[in-house]
Structure 1
Amino acid sequence: MSTELQIFYAIGILSTLILVAQLILMLFGLDHDATVGDVDMEGPTDHPGGLHILSVRTVVAFFVGFGWTGVIAIENKLPLYGTVILAALVGSVFLFFVFSVMRSLHRLRDSGTLNYRNAVGKVGSVYLPIPANRAGPGQIEILVQGRLTVVQAFTNAGQRIENQAKVRVVDLVDPQTLLVEPLG
């Protein structure tokens, strides 16, 4: 076995093992970065975030394509310069394919942040009594974005709204507080 073939085999085998390890870790939910506490930083924080074309996954995909294409090309007697060029092209196709798949999956993500504007018009029930005329906050239990949540609420009604009473959300007082009216 020639040195070139050994090198391409080593690249192909090692990168494939890393790819398999990534897939196994992903199946068990261990494929994300760990955080260790908080960090204070100076300077701008308005980075675009998200995916980058050069990531561990895309680079590993490049080397899988590069290594195994090199093995096949050398075993088919392609000259070394042609093998390297072909392997680099196939590796680049692998890289862009994995990047495209990851970008598509990344778009499916949901932040999970509740937008209480989506509660306007919905009906909930009083969890803690709501004082009349915005004298103080109470709490209601309401389904927002598929999640049952307890939210602080005020009312403009002239009388206190008691526990278990049904209310309709009419507006937001602030991003975390609802304005409700009694039903009936």
Structure 2
Amino acid sequence: GFSWTGISFYELISNKIILTVFAFVIGCLFVYIFFLTIKALLKLAEDNSFKIIETLEKVAQVYIPIPEHKSGIGKVTLSIRGTFRELDAMTEGEKISSNTPVKVIKIENNILLVEKI
């Protein structure tokens, strides 16, 4: 901004000191606008890290059947912040077959405890 202002106004402002001060002020204004733009862009940064606690009370769909009474681990799929996740799951009740909607009720050792809806 500094140099282009000086070049652009070279013929219009005959006093070179005023031209230099004017070009310097415009250059500082450009730097200020640049930093405001960067600050605004940094505010747009989003934390997309996955936290398993976000799955509580969410509805999921069984992908791999879940054995009864915590006797084994199945898999469920669910959407967290627009991203589908495939997570391990168990149930305290009866066996839950594939494509059954379930609700996450608890988390134990990073395994979802689910129940049929």
Question: Is the 8 Å Cα contact of residues 154 and 177 (structure 1) preserved in structure 2?
Answer: yes
Q: Does 1:100 align with 2:36?
A: yes
The answer for the alignment partner of 1:178 in structure 2 is 112
Instruction: Give the C-alpha shift of residue 66 in structure 1.
Output: 0.8
Higher share of residues assigned helix: 1
Higher relative contact order (CA 8 A, sep 6+): 2
The answer for the alignment partner of 1:118 in structure 2 is 54
Rounded Cα–Cα distance in structure 1 between residues aligned with 2:56 and 2:5? 58
Question: Is the 8 Å Cα contact of residues 13 and 19 (structure 2) preserved in structure 1?
Answer: no
Instruction: Give the C-alpha shift of residue 92 in structure 1.
Output: 1.3
TM-score (norm: length of structure 2): 0.80
Mark the CA change 1:133 to 1:85 in structure 2 (over 3 Å): closer, same or farther. farther
Rounded Cα–Cα distance in structure 1 between residues aligned with 2:80 and 2:93? 27
- Identical-pair percentage: 27
1, 24, 32: which one aligns with 1:88: 24
Structure 1 unmatched runs, 5+? 1-64
133, 140, 145: which one aligns with 2:76: 140
Mark the CA change 1:101 to 1:177 in structure 2 (over 3 Å): closer, same or farther. farther
Instruction: Give the C-alpha shift of residue 105 in structure 1.
Output: 2.2
Rounded Cα–Cα distance in structure 1 between residues aligned with 2:15 and 2:108? 73
Mark the CA change 1:125 to 1:79 in structure 2 (over 3 Å): closer, same or farther. same
The answer for the alignment partner of 2:15 in structure 1 is 79
Rounded Cα–Cα distance in structure 2 between residues aligned with 1:75 and 1:164? 76
Question: Is the 8 Å Cα contact of residues 104 and 112 (structure 2) preserved in structure 1?
Answer: yes
Higher share of residues assigned strand: 2
Q: Deviations over 1:54-73 (max 9, x none)?
A: xxxxxxxxxxx112211233
Rounded Cα–Cα distance in structure 1 between residues aligned with 2:72 and 2:11? 80
Give the secondary-structure state (helix, strand or coil) at the position aligned to 1:88: helix
Rounded Cα–Cα distance in structure 2 between residues aligned with 1:120 and 1:167? 11
The answer for the alignment partner of 1:152 in structure 2 is 88
Whose radius of gyration is greater, 1 or 2? 2
Question: Is the 8 Å Cα contact of residues 93 and 115 (structure 2) preserved in structure 1?
Answer: no
Q: Deviations over 1:83-137 (max 9, x none)?
A: 2322222111111112212221221222332333332212111101223333332
Rounded Cα–Cα distance in structure 2 between residues aligned with 1:82 and 1:173? 72
Q: Does 1:131 align with 2:28?
A: no
Instruction: Name the aligned partner's letter for residue 90 of structure 2.
Output: F
